[in-house]
Structure 1
Amino acid sequence: MPVLRSQHLSHSGLSHRPLRARRRHRRPMSPARSNCGPSTGSSKQVRRHRGQLEANIDVGRLQYLLAAAEIGSFRRAAEILGVHQSSVSRAAQQLEELLGVSLFERGHFGVRLTQAGHRFLADAMPAVEQLDAARRSAGAVGRAEVGIVRVGIFTSLAGGFLRQLLHCYSSRFPSVSIDVHDGGRREHLAAVRTHRLDIAFITGAGPIEKCETAELWRERVYVAMPSDHPLAAKDRIEWNLLQNAHFIVSRSEPGPEVHSYIMRRSADFSTYPNIEEKAVLQDTLMNLVALGQGITLVSAAWNSVAVPGLVLRPLTAAEDIVPFSAVWSPKNDNPALRRLLSVAHILAGRWRKGSSDWATETSFSACMKQLPID
């Protein structure tokens, strides 16, 4: 019953074309068989396939191929690389499938590169060497063997703890550059928070907002005066002897902090000090002191600096011992900074056994042997 069959198909929503014709009509045409060239979607598929191909050619597979090509055997290459033979042969087979060419000739002689294999490895070698160099370089930075650490300082490097610290660190990590910046407390803290400095060493102790701190050492405050000053004959100075003194400080750091210190200590004796500001750097200020223009206060590190006509005398009070702290950002992940913190804690006698963040007692002993004897 042709008519009834046709009506049934019509009611079911299907066309009257033969089944074979319908299937041929629904089959998408390939770009090669199309007269108008590949479509945009086909181009995207080609690019996607190419990207997947490049991603699948990893360095490990290339190293397997290089070893097999040099030795002439998948088995012996696997033995040298410390992997299973199947890993090497499978890597070669997968690359051949990805590239669509044979890279090796296989036979009773073992394996040897085809012409396509020679060309492929010759082009791939620079990339392998560059990636291997990048891996070694990144590993060296991660171990703080190379790199840079930016340090803000407040005191002199002529002597004392800070000089020892930087000397020890540079001895243990000679390929790490130490970039030292002079400055004041406020300037250094702003630079640490914005990672323009990795670490700063400043006076004082206690918590600082958005920073990690560690008190590392203390220094006694000294009075710098000309050698012919009346107080130069004394071995030690008590603060009440300075009530009528003429102080000079620099306008630049550390002058402002020295000015504040003089004001604070003078207030303990209910006196108002005579302080004159000079538009000079600290080194010039010390020479002005030697020339008799006034006295000033300095840290113990200045004992290692020889200035003609200048003498230093320590203040006796316990209040005149100043703590120095390291300050750094908890968000700073510079490996060179972590190493510097380890060495700093070691020199301060604060190492912890079993900690990956701090170095060991053995490292401390090795470091101390390299320190100069003052």
Structure 2
Amino acid sequence: MLAAETRSFSRAAALLRIKQATLSRNVLLLEHRLGVKLFERRTRGAFVTPEGLPIIATARRILTEVETLQTRARAMRNGDAGELTIGFCSSLTAGDLRFAIVEFQRRFPDVRLNGVERDRGFLHHALHAGVIDLAVVTGDLGDPGVRRRPLWSERVLVALPDEHPLVETERIYWHDLRRQTFVLGTQDPGPDLVRLLQARLAEPGYEPDVETQDVSRENVLAMVSAGWFLTLVSESALGVNHPGIIFREVHEPTGQARIDYGCYWRSDDTSPALRRFLGLIRERYPDA
């Protein structure tokens, strides 16, 4: 390549820091192997022959592809490229998970990011099977075989039909929600919110009216807007407009009611892209 570009074996050898005789011998061996004369040797230099032009062009293309492969391999090794699959159970329309993913894609645009939205049980199995690299869920998987890091917490909100009497209440506490009918979906974080409702609203002689239905979060909210019942959501659900529904924060005596999220990954997962994502999480949420 250098001999073709400089039109001189001596200048090419000097740039390569080898003897001219060594370069000339290697070129002769290549010509013999290919059965094609690549250079016309003259007193004024070495010139590529017409037969050698397409071969030199192919060699130049191969070298460029090798350099590209080397650059991509370094990027994958450093976590700047590659693939990362995140499993989650919350909406990506708003909330901390969405912000973390958007920031990760901004910093590492060459990493292909895949998402899997399923319930916590499925994500737990998918993590062990290697289908996903990271699971972001509520609650605790209770599995010593995976590593865990606490993440953020999200506000718990009650979804009310826009004509419900509680819409006019300045601040809603748990006791304001007694005697109301609640329906939650089976998708996470629905089961955690059911347990939260039962823990906060139960009292001697009274069990809260809470049921679960095997429908999506969006359809539960659609039924709320029709005035059938109330439901609870985490604040990540606020990214989509839901006509006919008013979202109000639920308060504890000590502050806003919240639900905690954590992330889980296999201890033997050495993915550089995963390492980059966890680094971003530590940077963004150092106190988690």
TM-score above 0.5: yes
Aligned counterparts of 2:278 and 2:52: Cα–Cα separation in 1? 51
Return the letter of the residue paired with 1:169: F
Please state how far the C-alpha of 1:339 moved relative to its aligned partner.
2.4
The corresponding residue for 1:85 is 18
Task: Say if 1:245 and 1:274, in contact at 8 Å, map to a contact too.
Answer: yes
Aligned counterparts of 2:144 and 2:242: Cα–Cα separation in 1? 39
Please state how far the C-alpha of 1:143 moved relative to its aligned partner.
4.3
The corresponding residue for 1:192 is 127
Task: Say if 2:136 and 2:262, in contact at 8 Å, map to a contact too.
Answer: yes
The corresponding residue for 1:36 is none
Aligned counterparts of 2:6 and 2:216: Cα–Cα separation in 1? 68
Choose between structure 1 and 2: higher strand proportion: 2
Return the letter of the residue paired with 2:169: K
Q: TM-score, normalization: structure 2?
A: 0.79
Greater alpha carbon shift after TM alignment, 335-344 vs 184-193? 335-344
Please state how far the C-alpha of 1:106 moved relative to its aligned partner.
7.1
The corresponding residue for 1:290 is 225
Higher normalized contact order (CA 8 Å, seq sep 6+, divided by chain length)? 2
The corresponding residue for 2:258 is 321
Please state how far the C-alpha of 1:100 moved relative to its aligned partner.
6.2
The corresponding residue for 1:212 is 147
Aligned counterparts of 2:14 and 2:95: Cα–Cα separation in 1? 56
Structure 2: give runs of 5+ residues left out of the alignment. Answer: none
After superposition, residues 332-351 of structure 1 pair within 5 angstroms as 332-349=269-286
Structure whose CA Rg is larger: 1
Q: TM-score, normalization: structure 1?
A: 0.63
Please state how far the C-alpha of 1:229 moved relative to its aligned partner.
2.3
Aligned counterparts of 1:216 and 1:256: Cα–Cα separation in 2? 19
User: Using a 3 Å threshold, how does the CA distance of structure 1 residues 269 and 159 change in structure 2: closer, same or farther?
Assistant: farther
Aligned counterparts of 1:89 and 1:330: Cα–Cα separation in 2? 55
Aligned counterparts of 1:89 and 1:69: Cα–Cα separation in 2? 16
After superposition, residues 153-232 of structure 1 pair within 5 angstroms as 153-204=88-139, 208-232=143-167
User: Using a 3 Å threshold, how does the CA distance of structure 1 residues 210 and 75 change in structure 2: closer, same or farther?
Assistant: farther
Question: Which of these residues, 301, 304, 308, is aligned with residue 243 of structure 2?
Answer: 308
Aligned counterparts of 2:276 and 2:21: Cα–Cα separation in 1? 43
Query: Does residue 258 of structure 1 match 2:193?
Result: yes
After superposition, residues 1-374 of structure 1 pair within 5 angstroms as 66-78=1-13, 80=15, 83-86=16-19, 90=22, 93=25, 109=44, 124=59, 127-204=62-139, 208-266=143-201, 271-317=206-252, 320-349=257-286
Please state how far the C-alpha of 1:221 moved relative to its aligned partner.
1.5
Aligned counterparts of 2:286 and 2:205: Cα–Cα separation in 1? 39
Structure 1: give runs of 5+ residues left out of the alignment. Answer: 1-65, 352-374
Please state how far the C-alpha of 1:175 moved relative to its aligned partner.
3.7
User: Using a 3 Å threshold, how does the CA distance of structure 1 residues 293 and 138 change in structure 2: closer, same or farther?
Assistant: same
Aligned counterparts of 2:93 and 2:58: Cα–Cα separation in 1? 55
Please state how far the C-alpha of 1:324 moved relative to its aligned partner.
1.2
SS at match of 1:85: coil
Greater alpha carbon shift after TM alignment, 101-110 vs 260-269? 101-110
User: Using a 3 Å threshold, how does the CA distance of structure 1 residues 181 and 120 change in structure 2: closer, same or farther?
Assistant: closer
User: Using a 3 Å threshold, how does the CA distance of structure 1 residues 252 and 217 change in structure 2: closer, same or farther?
Assistant: closer
Question: Cα deviation per residue 1:179-202 (whole Å; 9 max; x = unaligned)?
Answer: 222212111122122221122211
Question: Cα deviation per residue 1:253-300 (whole Å; 9 max; x = unaligned)?
Answer: 443333333334445777422223333210111121122111111112
User: Using a 3 Å threshold, how does the CA distance of structure 1 residues 122 and 160 change in structure 2: closer, same or farther?
Assistant: closer
Q: Please, what is the CA RMSD of the aligned residues?
A: 3.5
SS at match of 2:175: helix
SS at match of 1:247: strand
- Count of residue pairs the alignment pairs up: 283
Question: Cα deviation per residue 1:285-332 (whole Å; 9 max; x = unaligned)?
Answer: 112112211111111223443322212222222593222112222333
User: Using a 3 Å threshold, how does the CA distance of structure 1 residues 235 and 198 change in structure 2: closer, same or farther?
Assistant: farther
Greater alpha carbon shift after TM alignment, 290-299 vs 202-211? 202-211
Aligned counterparts of 2:259 and 2:250: Cα–Cα separation in 1? 11
Aligned counterparts of 1:154 and 1:89: Cα–Cα separation in 2? 67
Please state how far the C-alpha of 1:133 moved relative to its aligned partner.
3.5
Aligned counterparts of 1:95 and 1:191: Cα–Cα separation in 2? 55
Task: Say if 1:249 and 1:277, in contact at 8 Å, map to a contact too.
Answer: yes
User: Using a 3 Å threshold, how does the CA distance of structure 1 residues 114 and 308 change in structure 2: closer, same or farther?
Assistant: closer
